[in-house]
Amino acid sequence: MLAARSIGTPPRRLILRHILPNVLSPVMVSATLMLATAIITESALSFLGMGFPPDFPTWGRLVADGVDYLQQYPSRAMLPGVFISLTVLSVNYIGDGLRDALDPRIRGR
């Protein structure tokens, strides 16, 4: 960065060439982790009845409704929980893949 600035590189090129590639990877990983956290938080709040209104279907509400029928139909409560887990896992894997794809240290190899 110092060498590029010393030869008179314009600030726009410094940002696009040196700063942005190094900042993009942590921001993407943080965003995907925050998305996974938001999904789990919304599901937990909906399960407890503090999320969206009762007429709005969410995975947490589906799990809460399925708990009443756990003895007769266990899949009614387990399937939404499995889908919550798979969605969060998928978002985390996407974030990990984006981190690997956008990491400037790995890209040079």
Which tens digit of pLDDT belongs to each residue from 39-78?
999 999 999 999 888 888 899 999 999 998 989 999 998 9
Q: For residue 56, what is the DSSP state?
A: S
DSSP reduced 3-state for 58: coil
Tokens matching residue 55: 């007429």
Residue 108 CA, chain-centre distance (Å), reads: 26
Residue 31: which pLDDT band, with cuts at 50, 70 and 90? very high
pTM score, two decimals? 0.76
Q: For residue 51, what is the DSSP state?
A: S
Tokens matching residue 40: 């789990």
* More confident of the two residues 2 and 35: 35
* More confident of the two residues 28 and 35: 35
